[in-house]
Structures are given as C-alpha cells and as structure tokens.
Structure 1
Amino acid sequence: MQQTAPLILVNESDEPIGTMEKMQAHREGLLHRAFSIFIFNRKRQMLLHQRADEKYHSGGLWTNACCSHPIPGEELIISAQRRLQEEMGFQCPLEEIFSFVYKAELDNNLVEHEFDHVLVGTYEGDIVPNKEEVQDFGYYSVDDIQRLLEKNPEDFTAWFKIAFPKVMDWVFVSGGK
C-alpha cells in the first residue's frame, strides 16, 4: 500500500512547517519527518528486508525492518506500528532511541532529506510481508550485517548505512537502554 497522505515538512528542530505531496517533497529534497524501525529477536539478530524492485526509490536494496513517514495528525509511534503491520504483517512494542537528519541523492532523480526517528522493538513471531513493499527478508547477526556492509555497501539503503552503527552503539554500548 503506497502512502497517499502528504509528508510532514519540518525544520532542523523537527518542528512542523507544512505538508507536501510525497513525490514532490522527494523531487525537491525538502526536509520531512520519517521513521526507521529496527527489529531484533531474542538472539540479538536484526530483521532486514529487501525493498521490492518496484518501490519508487531504492528498489532491491536491503534495509531495516520498516521505513516510512508519519501521517499528519497521527502520533509517530502509532504511524510506525501501523506501517510495520502494513509492510511486514506484524506489530510489537516500539521505543524511540534517537533521531538524526540526513540528505542523500537517490535513484530516479529523487532526494531523501529526512529528520529520521529511529525506533526499536523485539519480535519472535510470524512475518508476513506485503509483496508490494518487500521482496525478501530475514534475521541476520550484526556481525554478518557489518561484513555485508563493508563488502557491498551499494546493496543497502542510504539511511541504513547511517543508522546501523548508531543502533549498534545503542544496543551494545548502552546495553539497549
């Protein structure tokens, strides 16, 4: 299911300054609110998914469990839980651990300029991904992910390459709290 609601444009402090249609915001590279969800199992393996080739950008690339944009008027956590269900077919409790701003030129002449809220959760059940969003998925050890990132960074999304080391610091340095 493609998001049809407008994106929330924000300033560098994540204060809303307006809304804009998704594709226009990505063509113009305007800063907008987003979230990235990282899911772990009890073995501390991370759930990755390969974006469907048909996605409007970054098709076929590997990334964290779910990435999207909150809907105007909807709480961030509610939007994240809703999109996790829509994309991966499950829900679990989520906790925001940090946020960051990045800007990356993507394929299809699009620019991703996001104030990205990073959320984490733990999940052990069935995963039933939406085939329009996801073409492959699996849990991977963080060591395997690190090796894959070093060997083939072009196989991963721009935001994942930025967020992954920060999430690893949170998991292993802070003990996940």
Structure 2
Amino acid sequence: MANPAEELLDVVDEHDRVIGTALRGEVYRRGLIHRCVFILVRDPAGRIFVHRRTDTKLFAPGAHDMFVGGVVGSGESYAEAAVREAEEELGVHGIVPRPLFKFLFREPDGGKLAWWCDTYEAEWDGPVSPQESEVAWHAWLTPDELADRLTRDTFVPDGLDAYRRYLDFRAA
C-alpha cells in the first residue's frame, strides 16, 4: 500500500472484540485499540534478527526492534498477518511463525495508543532481503549482543514490552 495511513484496520475493544473499522491514520490519531503481530525470528544458531526502523514509520521512526511485524488488516487473522508481515519485512517466502502469547499493549507514560499484540516465534535458515521501506539496518545478534544493544540503543516500546514477556514466557 502506498500510504500506510490509509490502510483499513479493525478497531477492537479491551477484550479484542471487533467493534468497527477505521483508517490507520485515524486509529493512531484517535488512540483506537487495534491489532498487531510481532514475530521474533531466529536463525539456526539462535541469533535474533534485529533491525532499525526507517525514519518514515508512523510509530517509533528510527527506533530498533527485535521483532518483525505490524498491524493486522481489517478482516485478516493474526496468523495470516504474522506470515504476511514476516515475509514482507524479511523479503522471504515460506516462513512458519509459531504462536506464543497475546497481550494488550498500552503506550507508556500516559500515551493514548493501545493495541492487542499476538506474539510469534519463527526460525529462518536462509538469506534475507529486508524491505527497504521498513528496515534501515539489520543484523543477526546473539541474545547477549541484543542485551548490550538494549542498554545503548532506542527500541520501540511495544517491542521492549513483548521481549520482556517473551523472556518470561521462555523461562516458565
């Protein structure tokens, strides 16, 4: 889609029930709850795909993220969006995300934005060709390298929340 702000999204309530639709720009402007998917992608060595978002993103431009993903389109399932987003952002075909957990993210510090996050994990054993309109920089980092970057780089707040939950989920 040429203009992400014109993408039609399902608006949901605090229980993730669809209550309407709105354009993405309106969803962000009015702080309407919507749906997103996050996919943590590892290579066979256990390294995590980490990237810096382009400066043109509507949310958290230029921030780093350890998840690929994005909004769920109107009428699209979480699972469909997970495959679509992972394949688009990585520039690959045939990825198989495994569902992990879902949570309601609320923007920190009294921000008005909120969205349901369905979180997945996938393994990819091959080259990637990240989408230039989404990814400004990328690398495969070990968990220790990622932990170091978390102390010195700016990461998207929803990705940080999801990653903390992911670490807790794996430890349980």
TM-score (norm 1): 0.86
Alignment pair present for 1:93 and 2:96: yes
Preserved CA contact (<8 Å) 2:34 2:114: yes
Distance change (3 Å), C-alpha of 1:20 and 1:105: farther
- 2: CA distance between counterparts of 1:67 and 1:111? 21
- 1: CA distance between counterparts of 2:73 and 2:156? 22
Preserved CA contact (<8 Å) 1:36 1:64: no
The answer for the alignment partner of 1:82 in structure 2 is 84
The number of aligned residues is 168
Q: Which runs of 5+ in 2 are unaligned?
A: none
Alignment pair present for 1:102 and 2:101: no
- 2: CA distance between counterparts of 1:86 and 1:10? 25
Q: Kindly, what percent of the aligned residue pairs are identical?
A: 22
**1:94-113: CA deviations, max 9, x gaps?**
1110111122169xxx8531
Report deviation, 1:152.
2.6
TM-score (norm 2): 0.88
Q: Which stretches of structure 1, 4 residues or longer, exceed 4 Å deviation after superposition?
A: none
Preserved CA contact (<8 Å) 2:67 2:159: no
1:123-134 equivalences under 5 Å are: 123-134=124-135
Preserved CA contact (<8 Å) 1:36 1:116: yes
- 2: CA distance between counterparts of 1:65 and 1:160? 7
Distance change (3 Å), C-alpha of 1:112 and 1:124: farther
Letter matched to residue 147 of structure 1: D
Letter matched to residue 157 of structure 1: V
**1:54-98: CA deviations, max 9, x gaps?**
212211111024121112222221122112222220141111101
Report deviation, 1:11.
1.3
- 1: CA distance between counterparts of 2:67 and 2:90? 8
Letter matched to residue 152 of structure 1: R
- 2: CA distance between counterparts of 1:147 and 1:86? 27
Distance change (3 Å), C-alpha of 1:111 and 1:63: farther
Letter matched to residue 152 of structure 2: N
- 1: CA distance between counterparts of 2:132 and 2:58? 14
Alignment pair present for 1:160 and 2:159: yes
The answer for the alignment partner of 2:59 in structure 1 is 57
- 2: CA distance between counterparts of 1:112 and 1:87? 23
**1:28-75: CA deviations, max 9, x gaps?**
111111111111112221111110112122111110241211122222
